[in-house]
Amino acid sequence: MLRRIVRVSAPLTLMLPALAALFGGCRGRDLTVAIANESEVPSFTAPDADVEAEAGPIAYCPTNKCPSGRRTCPNSRFPCDVNLLSDVNNCGACDFACPTSGFNATYSCVNGQCVGQCAPTALDCDGLPDNGCEAFTLHNDHCGACNKKCSDPAAPCSWQGSLRQDLDCGCPAGMISCSRQCVDGRNDDANCGRCGNVCSPTGDGKPERTNAYYGCVNGECGTLKCVNGFGDCDSDPLNGCETSTLTAENCGGCGIACPNGQQCRLDEYGTPQCMCPPGLTLCEKVCRSGSGSCAACVDLASDKLNCGGCDVACTANAPFANKMCSYGTCVAQCMDNHADCNNSEVDGCEVDIASDPRNCGGCGIVCDAVAGQACVAGRCLVEPCDEQHSGEGAR
């Protein structure tokens, strides 16, 4: 992770729930929240009678003073609506924007500091944010991690599997590194026994067999192998690979039978699978390779890409709203901190209930506009009243 770029702190301001707005704020009716000594934190529990007589009640009034980490910036829509701790456009201070991108890096604002996140195949090994994530994971000097060196030429940094993070020096037993990728040299037709040793599918003039070719077995070319989708289920090499492995009786291999009611189909990765278990529906798909016909088992009641029917997708088509699949029907769902207060799908969830003092925490919940009361995190801000109001509230 890249080093932090900036951090700016903000003074602390007390923020309590929107009780003042519900009871009229401080215009003639102060809200007594709790009774406590000056050194104590206000509490919602019943106070001791002696403490009440000694200290008197504490009243809270509406305020527009932003709590710690919040600011009203030049581009703000509402008071205190900018979170300096997480806003990438105002990170730590108003108008201090994190970089939009760097070399193999993306940036976010974490606790008021711009922090870079490296791409899966990159590393920040020198700790300098100016050059981003300058090192690559598939490298003998930084194999999967900074300064993890692969010094043996016979064991270079190589992919161990299909995931990007599966990196190590050399390869597991029985595998060889070819073009930085670990392959099984015992059965790889393109790297049979050694890298680049490609087997001839005709076996250099051997007899042709049905649905079969000659390939690599135990590190040597020339052994009869079945093409994808077929098997030699009768163990007779003379008739080749006579059995389809895409049937309910032989799904993916000889004798692999599907349960009653299920079909044998290729999944999106092109692998034969028994489809579909009860409660799921089989839908035709395009294989991940981009060609051929594959299939998938989906729940039509909840799958947003197959809602109520195959390929019926629920797509987001309104601001701050996502379409979800609920019992086979596409419905709009507001994103966090937003609400649809005008009951119109045209403008989506148009209200920011986290910051809008006219809809603070929900539609129609209004903060004290005369006092300029701010709304933060869906709550109308209050603070202890001044001496004059405190005296009035104590009477």
Q: Where are the domains of the chain?
A: 19-136+383-394, 139-244
Using alpha carbons, list the distances in angstroms from residue 254 to 14, 47, 249. Answer: 71, 78, 8
pLDDT averaged over the chain? 83
Judged against a pLDDT cut of 70, whether residue 220 lies above it is answered with yes
Instruction: Give me 164's structure tokens.
Output: 């990007």
Q: Which of 179, 167, 165 lies closest to 119 in space, CA to CA?
A: 165
Q: What is the pLDDT of residue 288?
A: 81
Token digits for 104? Answer: 């193999």
Is the predicted pLDDT of residue 199 greater than 90, yes or no? yes
Nearest-angstrom CA–CA distance, 155 and 152 = 5
**Proportion of the chain above pLDDT 90, given as a percent:** 63
| Full DSSP string of 59-96 | EEEE--PPPTTEE--TT-SSTT-EETTT-TTSSSSTT-
pLDDT at 309: 95
**Cα 21 to Cα 27: distance, rounded to the nearest angstrom:** 11
Which secondary structure element, helix H or strand E, spans residue 394, and what is its range? Answer: helix 387-394
pLDDT at 391: 43
* All residues at 6 or more sequence positions from 305 whose CB lies less than 8 Å from its CB, including other chains: 298, 311, 313, 314
Confidence band (pLDDT; 50, 70, 90) for 312? very high
Residue 383 β-bridge partners: 61
Q: Is the dihedral of CA 30, 31, 35, 38 positive or negative?
A: negative
| Residues 45/51/52/57 CA torsion (nearest 10 deg) | -70
User: Would you list the DSSP string of 186-225?
Assistant: TT-TTSSSSTT-PPPTTTTTPPP-TTEEEEEETTEEEEEE
For 274-291, the three-class secondary structure string (H helix, E strand, C coil) is EECCCCCEEEEEECCCCC
Q: Tell me if 211 sits within 8 A of 241, measured CB to CB.
A: yes
Tell me the mean pLDDT in the region 332-356. Answer: 92
| Model confidence, pTM | 0.60
**261-to-248, 256, 258, 274, 378 alpha-carbon distances in Å:** 9, 15, 8, 10, 52
- Mean pLDDT, residues 4-30: 36
Whether the pLDDT of residue 232 is over 70: the answer is: yes
Q: What is the dihedral of CA 192, 195, 196, 201, to 10 degrees?
A: 10
